[in-house]
Amino acid sequence: MKLLFSASNALNKWLKTDLPRLPTREGKQAGVNTLKSDSTAMCWQAHVIDNRYKSYEKTIIVCEANSRFVFFIPVIVRLTVDELTKLLTMEWQAMLAETLESYQSADGRMPRSEIALLLSELSDITFNVEWVKNTDLSINGHICDAGIWVEQILREQGASQLSARQATELAIYLNTSVKRITNKETKRKEKVIPINKLLAYCQALVKSECLGDVNEVASHDACDLSNVVYLKHYRK
C-alpha cells in the first residue's frame, strides 16, 4: 500500500529538493490535484510555515486527505526528505493514538488495549512511501486555519516555537472538534470529527488486509475553506 506525502511548493523549496509533480488528471490544473485516501493509498498534504516573518523556527503542518486529521512538527533546522519521512511515518500513528486516548466520544473513550491492537495491526501493513509536489486546495484551507492557530498561540505566549506538548494538545483539540466538509460527490455540506473519520478509515484498512480487498475503505470528501475553529473555544 502507498503512503503518499504531497508537499506544497513552500515545503518543496524548504527541503531544497525537486519532487516530481503528481500526474495531472485530464482537464485539471497542474499542481493542484485532488488527493484521495482509499484502499490503495493513504494521502497526506504537507506544508511548512514560518513561525514569524522569515524566522529560523518553522512548523510543518500535515493533514490527511479524507478526514482532515492534522498534526504539527516544530522544526528549527532544515531536514532532508529521508529525515522528514521517518518523522512523518512515526508521527501520524503516534498522534492517532494520543488523540484516541484523549477523545471522549458518544460511545465513551476507546480502551488502551484496543488502541494498542489497532496500532499493531496498522504496523503489519506494508506502507511504501512516495513523495510528490502538489497542493490540494480543499485541504489547504484546513492547513491555513491550523497555521493561524500556531501563529496566535506563539504571539500570545511570546514564544518562538511550539513545544512538543503544545503541538500535541493543539492537534488533539482540532482533531476532536467538528469540521464542516463539502462532499464533492453529493455536493452537500457535512459535519465531521476528524478522529472519528480517520479511525473508521484505519479500521477499514485493517479489515481490507484481512479480507484481501474492500472497496468502501473511504470516500473522498472535499472541504470548503471557511473552517476556522476559534482560539477562545480551545482555552475552555
Q: How many CB atoms lie within 10 A of CB 126?
A: 8
User: Is the model more confident about 104 or about 234?
Assistant: 104
For 31-66, the pLDDT digits (tens) are 888 899 999 999 999 999 999 888 899 999 999 999
- Percent helix, strand, coil in the chain, to 5, is 40, 20, 40
Residue from 56, 43, 29 nearest 1 by CA: 43
Q: What is the pTM of this model?
A: 0.87
CA pair distance 77, 127, nearest whole angstrom: 27
For 161-171, the pLDDT digits (tens) are 999 999 999 99
114-143 mean pLDDT: 94
Gyration radius of the chain's alpha carbons: 17
Given CA atoms 36, 60, 169, 121 in this order, what sign does their dihedral have? positive
Grid cell of 139 as nine digits: 485541504
Residue from 17, 121, 142 nearest 69 by CA: 142
| pLDDT(216) > 60 | no
Grid cell of 148 as nine digits: 493561524
Grid cell of 16 as nine digits: 531544497
Given CA atoms 14, 226, 109, 202 in this order, what sign does their dihedral have? negative
